[in-house]
Structure 1
Amino acid sequence: MNIPDFRVEPAHFRADHDDLLIIFNVNKKPNDAPDSAADIINPLSIYVIARDNQHQPVGAGELTSAGTIEGLAVIPKWHNQGVELALLTALIDKAAKSGLTEIKAQAVESHKALFEGLNFRAVTQNEPGIYSLSMTQAPVSQPSSRPNPKPAPESIEPVKMESLMAIMEASIQLISSARRQICIISKDLEWPLYAQSAVIEALKSFAIDNRNSLVMILIQDPNALNGRSHPLIDLAQRLPSSIQLRTPTEMEDLGYPSAFLLSDQRGYLFRLNNDQAKGDWSPCLPSRTKQLAELFERLWQRARPCSEFRALNL
């Protein structure tokens, strides 16, 4: 059976905690006790995870800070579908970007051909199954399903948006282009936009892939979310150092009618009315972005942390 519809994305030891545990325990025998989180999840490691088109985890890989591939696991029905190769290639790419000069792995028998096909070589005959890869011999990584954004020119004229789909596509493009900071103001993190998996995945990738990145979100009516699970709130609780939530305290700020999203690459998306799927955006329009960034900074400084959504660390 061929099941090609999957993707590989960066994983975080908190944000993807439960899914990583499921995958890394998948090869346990029925009578074996599953390993605990302390035995499996290492906050210092780099993780990647494969998901199907229903966002369910189907495989995962781990690269330790010492440059060793400790985990490479795929659920049985996804074996021989290319998931192992995609995970391993992603880990090699992560190692190269981290500045490692060599990575090692202990390959099980079924993975030996896979490792050898990616230029891994056996270390010594005295250490069967131990393979090493010099990063100077690393293969070119496979194209990502999330292409790197092209460098933005100095200024791009704004484009009108008349539909929710257009707003979502523009939002994802702005998030994907950002490097250090994203600013969002929304009345109640409207579900048709900020609860959609494509937007959530873009924000998670931004937070994990970019060191010292920060998503700053102003929610004008957090009480509208009480008692209702929201994927973006859940992500913020799992990545509290990368995603911060505040709510206005001044009546003028609470009544601000518009919504917008800003990228530190001088791009913006603006909707005059938070309740309407109409607005304009540009991937790079410095004058307009600066104006909105100054407004956001004033609102942010007057706002308070959203204690309504505070969660215990895992």
Structure 2
Amino acid sequence: DGRIGRMAVLAAYRGHGIGEALLEALVQAGRQLGLAELPLHAQLPARDFYARQGFLPEGPECEEAGIGHQQMRRRLQAVAAIDSRTEAVAITTAIIHRARRRLWLHSRQLDPGLLDAPPVQAALRRFVTARHDKQLRVIVHDAAAIASAGAPLLALFQRLPSVIQFREVADPIDRALASACLLNDAGDFYFRLIGHRLDGESAIALPARSQPFEQQLQRVWDRSRECSELRALGI
């Protein structure tokens, strides 16, 4: 039925990407079998590991053999609905973690409560400080409000302006957009029609579905102005 049962890496070999490679091999095997989804029952300490690979939590935590567990699932061929903050944090973390070289973020005011969640912040720091050439393009609607709020992403931008680029929408049509979107160059996306809410739709490794969102963000980016005023550190 496609259920992933037990995964383990010898203690001496952990922290080297072996677990992620093993999990990706299982995902590819599921695709080759034509499975629509892969469910698993994760121990709570491993929940973030699976979330980084696009497995979304489902339902409440439970206890099994005295150990806390979380049911999780990754869809392979279809869009998944995001209905809770827990799911929103998981899919946001996955999209950032799985990005190869480019990330797009369209958010009116940098989504307090989502982008500042610890797993998301850890993924962002890992992405922007990686050795390979990386680029995070951020489109916002109110740069002044973001500056006064002092969002964590703004602090990263001020330290790494060559990696993170900010633009503020200028065209009246773009300013009327109420949606929010996060996507990467691996075919992953998380789109919210109403940007101040977390419910929306997402997909992992479905480039045909993510490409129209990227094309739209590129058009908005081209019409927007550079937020040079956000570069100044508050000293």
**TM-score between the two structures when normalised by the length of structure 2:** 0.68
Report whether the alignment pairs 1:278 with 2:199. yes
Q: 1:300 aligns with which of 221, 224, 227?
A: 221
Instruction: Please list, as runs of the form range in 1=range in 2, the aligned pairs for 1:5-154 lying within 5 A after superposition.
Output: 142-143=14-15, 148=20, 150=24
Structure 2 CA distance for partners of 1:222 and 1:146, relative to 1, 3 Å: farther
Are residues 171 and 215 of structure 1, via their aligned partners in 2, closer, same or farther at CA, if it must alter by over 3 Å? same
Change in Cα spacing, 1:288 to 1:258, as seen in structure 2 (3 Å) is same
Seen in structure 2, the aligned counterparts of structure 1 residues 205 and 306 have a Cα distance that, compared at 3 Å, is same
- Counterpart position of 2:104: 183
Give the number of equivalent residue pairs: 175
Residue identity matched to 2:133? N
What residue is the counterpart of 1:232 in the other structure? 153
| Residue type of the alignment partner of 2:15 | P
Corresponding residue for residue 216 of structure 1: 137
**Secondary structure, aligned partner of 2:129:** helix
Distance 1:265 1:307, change over 3 A: same
Distance 1:222 1:161 in 2: 27
Asked if 2 retains the 8 angstrom alpha-carbon contact of 1:187 and 1:220, the reply is yes
The ranges of structure 1 where at least 4 consecutive aligned residues each deviate by more than 6 angstroms after the TM superposition are none
What secondary structure is seen at the aligned counterpart in 1 of 2:87?
Answer: helix
* 2:92 match: 171
Compared CA separation, residues 143 and 276, structure 1 to 2 (3 A): same
Aligned match of 1:101: none
Tell me the amino acid that sits aligned with residue 143 of structure 1: G
Amino acid at match of 2:179: S
Gaps of 5+ in 2: 1-11, 32-75
Residues 179, 210 of structure 1: 8 Å contact kept: no
Mark the CA change 1:199 to 1:146 in structure 2 (over 3 Å): closer, same or farther. Answer: farther
Larger proportion of helix: 2
CA deviation profile, 1:239-269 (whole Å, cap 9, x unmatched): 1111111111101111111101011001111
Q: Higher RCO, 1 or 2 (CA under 8 Å, sep at least 6)?
A: 2
1:248-296: CA deviation from partner (whole Å, max 9, x where unpaired): 1101111111101011001111111001121010111112211001001
Q: CA deviation at 1:160?
A: 0.3
5+ unaligned residues in a row in structure 1: which ranges?
Answer: 1-139
Q: 2:188 aligns with which of 264, 267, 273?
A: 267
- Do the aligned residues in 1 keep the contact of 2:142 with 2:168 (CA within 8 Å)? yes
In the TM superposition, residue 181 of structure 1 has moved relative to its aligned partner by 0.3
| CA positional deviation for 1:237 | 0.7
- Structure 1 residues 146 and 225: CA distance shift in structure 2, 3 A: farther
TM-score by length of 1: 0.51
Quote the Cα distance in structure 2 between the aligned partners of 1:253 and 1:200: 27
Cα 1:166–1:210 shift into 2, 3 Å: farther
Give the equivalent residue in structure 1 for 2:83.
Answer: 162
What is the Cα deviation at residue 223 of structure 1? 2.3
Sequence identity of aligned pairs in percent? 28
